Amino acid sequence: MRIDILTVLPELLNGPFDHSIIKRAKDKGLAEIHIHNIRDYSNDKHKKVDDYAFSGGAGMVMTIQPIESAINALKAERDYDAIIYTSPDGELFNQKIANSMSLYTNLIILCGHYKGVDQRIREHLITQEISIGDYVLTGGELAAAVISDAIVRLIPGVLSDETSALSDSFQDNLLSPPVYTRPANYKGWKVPDILLSGDTKKIENWKHQQAIERTQRLRPDLLKDSED
Confidence (pLDDT) at 226: 65
Helix, strand and coil content of the chain, in percent to the nearest 5, comes to 40, 20, 40
Is 86 part of a structural domain of the chain? yes
Nearest to 155 by CA among 103, 82, 94: 103
Is 198 part of a structural domain of the chain? yes
Confidence (pLDDT) at 228: 59
Q: Count up the domains in the chain and report the number.
A: 2
Is 163 part of a structural domain of the chain? no
Confidence (pLDDT) at 227: 65
Q: Specify the CATH number for the domain of residue 105.
A: 3.40.1280.10
Residues 141 and 96 in one domain: yes
Residues 17 and 42 in one domain: yes
Residues 115 and 33 in one domain: yes
Please give the C-alpha separations between residue 68 and each of 38, 42, 88, 197, in angstroms, as whole numbers: 10, 10, 21, 60
Confidence (pLDDT) at 57: 80
Confidence (pLDDT) at 151: 96
Confidence (pLDDT) at 136: 87
User: What φ, ψ does residue 107 adopt, rounded to 5°?
Assistant: -145, 135
Confidence (pLDDT) at 170: 59
Q: What is the mean pLDDT, run by run of 10 residues, along the chain of 228 residues?
A: 97 88 93 97 96 87 97 98 95 95 97 92 97 92 96 90 55 86 96 96 95 94 76
Residue 198 belongs to what domain range?
169-227
Confidence (pLDDT) at 154: 93
Q: Specify the CATH number for the domain of residue 178.
A: 1.10.1270.20
Confidence (pLDDT) at 173: 83
* Domain end (from 92, 119, 152): 152
Residues 147 and 175 in one domain: no
What is the rounded distance in angstroms from the CA atom of residue 215 to the CA atom of residue 211? 6
Is 161 part of a structural domain of the chain? no
| Cα torsion angle, 128, 147, 33, 120, sign | positive
CB 65 within 8 A of CB 59: no
Residues 93 and 175 in one domain: no
* Domain end (from 123, 152, 181): 152
